[in-house]
Amino acid sequence: MDGAWWPSSRDAAAELPGLIAAVDRLLDRITLRIGVHGDAWQNIPRRIQARGRQVRIGWFRHTDPRVITLSFAAGEPVVLLIIPSHAAAAVAQATLKLTAQDTAGLSIDAILTLAHLPAGPAPRATADGSARWEDEGGPVIG
């Protein structure tokens, strides 16, 4: 895990341009491709305009829905833990701080446990007040 990201929503088209700009600036690299889990995001375009270029977006079902991968022309890809947009600010900031440290050798579940984030999807309330589980990090469609 190379770090964490706390998006405001699960709308890929709205959230990814800001992530691309921040990663490009912080790492002094040019993001060429982003890999996401197809069920964890809404509104996933095939390409997205960011910083004056088109960035390819690949969505997969065999990847971990809790991470996003950014690839560049040279160097290793960057893998970021996705902090749920509904996470409390204190928990999200603790997770960001934790992943900024050396987390080599820690599994995603271990990082989530240390950050006090649930390892699995959170239940969502339905209209009748009962709880329903998200499907692999994506929204429940009722």
Mean pLDDT of the region 124-138: 41
40 to 46, 62, 85, 101, 139: CA distances (angstroms): 15, 12, 12, 26, 7
Q: Which of 26, 126, 19 is nearest to 70 (CA)?
A: 19
**pLDDT, tens only, 23-69:** 999 999 999 999 999 999 999 999 999 878 899 999 988 889 999 99
Contact 132, 110 (CB under 8 A): no
Q: Given this model, what pLDDT does residue 119 score?
A: 62
Mean pLDDT of the region 65-80: 93
pTM: 0.76
Beta strand residue intervals within 38-111, DSSP E: 47-50, 53-60, 67-72, 78-82
Q: Given this model, what pLDDT does residue 129 score?
A: 42
**pLDDT, tens only, 94-126:** 888 888 887 777 788 888 778 777 665 443 444
Q: Given this model, what pLDDT does residue 138 score?
A: 41
H helices of 78-139, in order, are: 89-100, 108-114
Paired sense of beta strands 3-5 and 47-50, if any: unpaired
Q: Which residue has the tokens 């088209």?
A: 13
Q: Given this model, what pLDDT does residue 52 score?
A: 85
Q: What's the rounded Cα separation, in Å, for the pair 55 and 84?
A: 23
76, pLDDT greater than 70: yes
Q: What's the rounded Cα separation, in Å, for the pair 97 and 30?
A: 24
Q: Which of 49, 43, 50, 52 is nearest to 10 (CA)?
A: 43
Domain regions of the chain by residue span:
3-133
Burial label, 133 (beta-carbon count in 10 A; 0-12, 13-18, 19+): exposed
